[in-house]
Each structure stands twice: as structure tokens, then as C-alpha cells.
Structure 1
Amino acid sequence: KKEISFYINSPGGVVTSGLSIYDTMQFIRCPVTTLCVGQAASMGSLLLTAGAKDMRFALPNARIMVHQPSGGFQGQVTDILIHAREVESLKRRLNEIYVKHTGRSYEDIEGALERDNFMTADQAKEFGLIDKVIDKRADEAA
């Protein structure tokens, strides 16, 4: 199976849209290599870490940011509470995905995502979001 290369330079985006990309990455048979060029923030960081094991990379000056989902709602109190419960549910699901791909405990992930948490490429590797920081293409490194 030929691999798919997924270059990421993203400030993040809508959680449900990101989860549809995540689900597709997990569903297809081809391994997906992820490479952060620039930034992978918010949902972008989740997609970066969702690459195939040992195939998740970042360039040396890349920045990765993780945090919990956010949202704002208005309207009737009952509807606001419904939306708040949905965001809590999404937060739990996103934490579970980070646990799966980083090997960290749920408590570690929950703490790390409590506020905006910016990381260098090396810090993201240490945290388990990526496997390697690269500065040359594999075919040039030999």
C-alpha cells in the first residue's frame, strides 16, 4: 500500500470537521504520514498526532499547540446547557484520541490541554505527539 503524505500548517478549525478527517485517516488502508510545516494548532495538532506510528514528523521550527475545545452559545438557558454538554462530550472524546496516539494517561492529556499549550517540535516529540523532528527528506538523508 502506497502511503499518503499529509502536510499540516493549520491554526485549527471546527472540531466536527477535524474529526471527519481523523476518522477518514483511521478508516483508509494506506498509512498516513503527517508532517507539521509551520504550525499544527488545536485540531491541526490532533490530525498531526493521528498519523501512522513512526510516521509523524515536524520540521525543526514548527510549533504545535494543544488545548481543550472552545465555543460560545447564546439563547435559552436549556439550549445553552445542551450545547455545553455536547462540548464536554467532545472534550472527552478528543482527550481519548490524544491518549490513544501519544500513549500518555488521560490525566496527563487533560492537564496538558487545560489551557493553550504551545510546544516546539522537540517538546512535541517528548510529549508523544510526533515521532521525529526532521530537517531533510528521507531520500536526501542517506
Structure 2
Amino acid sequence: MKKYYALEQEGNSACVTVYGDITSWPWMESDVSAYMLSKQIDGIEADQIDVYINSYGGEVSEGLAIYNALKRHKAKVTTHCDGFACSAASVVFMAGDERIMGDASLLMIHNAWSGATGNAAELRKAADDLDTISAAAANAYRAAVNIDDAKLDQMLAEETWIAPQDAVDMGFATGIEKYEQPSVPAASARTAVLAKMQAKPIIAANVNVDTDAIVEKVFAKLTREAEPKQETKSNTFLNALMRGKEAK
């Protein structure tokens, strides 16, 4: 089971798991900071680094620092979107030489946002600063995507969720990891009922049916149950049956 945040190395391969917020103030067990992770990435002696991501994102500066730490490492980096890679986490995802989406995962990209107080000049400056910060993050996408700047800018402005196949088509991702259904037996009543419903009916071949024997047995049973010398509906049926049998 993956931890919220972990870095493990075995031989020439290293595995980084980011399953929480990306923040300069890590309080929760799941939080990860660029200071903590970048130092560890720089110390990795491996030819392959796999980064598994499930994060709503966090601070842009932290995401950019982790992105650059991965990009400058000599190892081949493969990033995996295990669930969500949103906001700053999508920037980290873009650091992969290979970028693999799970078949049930999503990217989310948007422009940077923040809170501000002050006079009109300070608020205008805050808006300009946000434009600059958003442009820096957008460069991580532009280095890989095959869409034009106008399309990317529109997607960022609209806060866009990106499905796996769309991510591949636009260049955000390089592949999709799909999982085969297990072939081992499963103790599932629903599965068993469904299998029965979908099964083709079994048709017997070369079966000989003795119709005369069947008629004899039916006639004998009805005769035993009928009351003598009473023209009931049963007797009427028996007479008709006998006439049909004699006619044969």
C-alpha cells in the first residue's frame, strides 16, 4: 500500500509517492514540501525514477521547484497520475519524460489564484504578479503539449479537467495505463447470476421421444382417477383421447 508521501529506492530505481497537498508548510502526514522532496530527489542515485501522484495541488512555487528538481535529474523520470493531478500537482506530472495516466484518473489545470488586500495600486500589482506566476506554470505545459498557446490559455482560464485520452491527444500525457480484469475465481452472487443469464441454452441433440408411451401413461393415470359411469369433464376428455388413439 502506498504511503501518502514516500521516497523509496531499490537498486537503480527509485519510487516517489505524492498523495497529498504540496505546501511549504507541511503539517499533515500527507503533505509534501519542495524543500523536503527536492533535497531527496537530488540525492537519488538511480537510472529510473517513478513518481506516483494523487493530489489536489497546492502552492505554485512548491510545484515548480519539484518540477525543476525532477527535470534536472539524470535519471529517466516517469510520472503516473493515480487519481487526481490538479493545479500544482499537474505541474509536477509534466516533469516526466513519460507521463502515464491511469485509465480512471484526471488532470486539472488553471491559472494561479491568491488573496490580496491593500489599496488600488497594491491590488493591481497583485493581479500582475498572478499573471506572471501563471505564465511560469504554463511553461511546464507548453514544453510538452501540441496545442497552440491560445488553446492552452483558454483551458487555464476556464479551469479545465482533462480525461486520460484527451490528455494523450493534447500532449499532456504520453500514455494510459489500463488494467486487465482478474481471471481468478470470485465468490460473487451477482457474477454467478449474470453468467447464468448470459449463458446460451443447452439444446439436446438426437433425443428420441416415445409419444405413444407418454399417451399411455397419461391415459392410465386419468382412468384411475376418474369415477365410473359418470359423464364428467374428465370422462369426456378420456373418451376424446381414446377416439384419437384408436384413429391412429
| TM-score, with structure 2 as normaliser | 0.51
> Which moved further from structure 2: 72-81 or 104-113?
72-81
Match of 1:87 in 2: 130
Q: Residues of 2 paired with 1:22 and 1:134: CA distance?
A: 22
- State the 1:57 CA deviation: 0.1
Unaligned 5+ segments in structure 2 are 1-45, 180-248
Contact 2:94 2:140 in 1 (8 A): no
Unaligned 5+ segments in structure 1 are 137-142
1:89-108 map, 5 Å: 89-108=132-151
1:1-142 map, 5 Å: 2-52=47-97, 55-136=98-179
User: Which residue identity does 2:113 align to in structure 1?
Assistant: S
Root mean square deviation of aligned Cα = 1.5
Q: Residues of 1 paired with 2:129 and 2:154: CA distance?
A: 20
**SS class of match (2:52):** strand
User: Which residue identity does 2:52 align to in structure 1?
Assistant: Y
| TM-score, with structure 1 as normaliser | 0.86
Q: How many equivalent pairs are there?
A: 134
Contact 1:96 1:106 in 2 (8 A): no
Deviating runs (4+, > 3 A) in structure 1? none
For the pair shown, the structure with the greater C-alpha radius of gyration is: 2
Q: Residues of 1 paired with 2:50 and 2:171: CA distance?
A: 19
Q: What percent identity do the matched residue pairs reach?
A: 24
- State the 1:4 CA deviation: 0.5
